[in-house]
Amino acid sequence: MLKLLNKAKHYINRKYFKNLKYEFEEFIPNSKGNSKDINELIKVNVKNLTTNLLDIKNFFKKAKVQRITSLKVNKELQERLGILFNNYGSDKTVHGYDVLYAKILKEISPNPTILEIGIGSNNITIPSNMGKKGFPGASLKAFADIYPNAEIFGADIDEQILNNFKNVKMFYLDQNDLKTYNNDMINEKYFDLIIDDGLHMQSANLNTLIFALERLKPGGVLVIEDITISALNTWHITDGLLKDPYKLSLYKCFDNYAVTVELKK
């Protein structure tokens, strides 16, 4: 009977009073108080944690943000990338990533192994989709044109768009589940370029970073695209966590930010 009552109490507190302690265990203060106060304290804790960590990090080292427009890149490659991204229906040029990739592609291996997370779903029920009229695989097509003999992989949560073409192979991956990064298709592969153009959410991006720390080749680069200004603090903090031989760079692009993490040679 008592068990049943406790179950009912739990259900009511969770469903009707929306007590956060059931979902944010890590953030419950270790202090006594009534449910309403604890709920408010959990919100304060979640809200302040990132900024507090950032203040501690900035005490030691403030990261610089470079403007994408200040990069000196090969104009011919930038133009080629810009045209390919636009023609295939990728929005990478709109953000200014043609500039960023023109810089990176000149620095990595001339025959790179590439993995892009986020193929481009046109299923409007999937977060971060490209709209009904989107073109799945647009950016991968551009990379395949530039590197017809390279090994290129695309990964996405939408299983309907996993269609291999030319030298591009695709597999299922859910960025919220680190286990799914270890697909047989890329078993024992190391990458010159890993791109995160998927869910665009910090914890999911950090899963990609955890994967990339182990799977970048020396000289290889991870690019995390589409970072909003409100998510930028996570990357300032991550910059403080990374140690040599990894180097994090922050870029201000046209309408958002991008982060790169390089494994130095």
Q: Which residues bind ligand SAM (CB under 6 A)?
A: 90, 92, 116-121, 126-130, 138-139, 156-158, 173-176, 197-199, 204
- Name residue 203's amino acid: S
Which of residues 113 and 207 has its CB atom nearest to ligand SAM in the complex? Answer: 207
Q: How far is the CB of 89 from ligand SAM (least distance, A)?
A: 7
Which of residues 161 and 216 has its CB atom nearest to ligand SAM in the complex? Answer: 161
Residue 148, number of CB atoms within 10 A of its CB: 10
Which of residues 119 and 224 has its CB atom nearest to ligand SAM in the complex? Answer: 119
Residues whose CB is less than 8 angstroms from the CB of residue 150 and which lie 6 or more positions away in sequence, other chains included: 111, 112, 113, 114, 143, 144, 167
C-alpha to C-alpha distances, 140 to 6, 85, 90, 91, 152, nearest whole angstrom: 53, 9, 9, 12, 8
Where do runs of H (alpha helix) occur along the chain?
2-15, 35-60, 75-88, 92-95, 97-107, 138-146, 202-215, 232-241
Count of CA atoms in the C-beta half-sphere (13 A) of 171:
13
Which of residues 175 and 238 has its CB atom nearest to ligand SAM in the complex? Answer: 175
62 DSSP assignment:
P
- Pairwise CA distance, residues 121 & 211, whole Å: 23
Which of residues 90 and 238 has its CB atom nearest to ligand SAM in the complex? Answer: 90
Residue 1, number of CB atoms within 10 A of its CB: 5
Q: How far is the CB of 233 from ligand SAM (least distance, A)?
A: 22
Q: How far is the CB of 6 from ligand SAM (least distance, A)?
A: 35
Q: How far is the CB of 79 from ligand SAM (least distance, A)?
A: 18
- Pairwise CA distance, residues 153 & 1, whole Å: 56
Which of residues 35 and 176 has its CB atom nearest to ligand SAM in the complex? Answer: 176
Contact (Cβ atoms closer than 8 angstroms) between residue 102 and residue 122: no
Q: How far is the CB of 66 from ligand SAM (least distance, A)?
A: 22
Q: How far is the CB of 36 from ligand SAM (least distance, A)?
A: 34
Which of residues 223 and 248 has its CB atom nearest to ligand SAM in the complex? Answer: 223
Contact (Cβ atoms closer than 8 angstroms) between residue 248 and residue 242: yes
Q: How far is the CB of 150 from ligand SAM (least distance, A)?
A: 17
- Pairwise CA distance, residues 62 & 226, whole Å: 21
